[in-house]
Amino acid sequence: GEQVEQRPPHLSVREGDSAVITCTYTDPNSYYFFWYKQEPGASLQLLMKVFSSTEINEGQGFTVLLNKKDKRLSLNLTAAHPGDSAAYFCAVSAGFASALTFGSGTKVIPCLP
């Protein structure tokens, strides 16, 4: 079955700096890709979903890049701020009736510049 590897497990980033979280997956039939944010003690909130190959999606304070050729999904936090302190999870699905397979998570800790 699908396997998703997420790196790094922990990330300290200075306020104002950027940081990248990367997921690689194994199933070439994977078609739907998601990033979730989980603040301490809270549930998972959908950050962004990506469906197209080599797509860059921009959100508020982050960008997402999907490279289907390399089977790689990345989340780039731009200009980190205290509100970014959370665990981030990528999730991948192969298609209809296929539940999400999650990466192991990255704990992001913004620190003072």
Partner 1 sequence: DMKVTQMPRYLIKRMGENVLLECGQDMSHETMYWYRQDPGLGLQLIYISYDVDSNSEGDIPKGYRVSRKKREHFSLILDSAKTNQTSVYFCASSLSPAANTEVFFGKGTRLTVV
Minimum distance between the CB of residue 33 and partner 1, rounded to whole angstroms? 10
Residue 95 binds to partner 1 (criterion: CB under 8 A) = yes
Site for partner 1 (CB under 8 A): which residue of 48, 49, 65, 78? 49
| Euclidean distance between CA atoms 17 and 103, whole angstroms | 24
First CA to last CA across the chain, in angstroms? 42
Torsions phi, psi of 68, nearest 5? -70, -30
Residue 40 binds to partner 1 (criterion: CB under 8 A) = no
**Which residue type does 19 have?**
A
Residue 89 binds to partner 1 (criterion: CB under 8 A) = yes
Site for partner 1 (CB under 8 A): which residue of 40, 43, 112, 113? 43
Minimum distance between the CB of residue 36 and partner 1, rounded to whole angstroms? 8
**Which residue type does 34 have?**
F
Candidate ranges 13-21, 60-68, 69-77, 100-108; the one touching partner 1 (CB under 8 A): 100-108
Q: Are 34 and 45 in contact (CB under 8 A)?
A: no
| Euclidean distance between CA atoms 102 and 113, whole angstroms | 32
Q: Which parts of this chain interact with partner 1 (CB under 8 A)?
A: 1, 4, 6, 9, 31-32, 42-46, 49, 51, 89, 91, 93-105
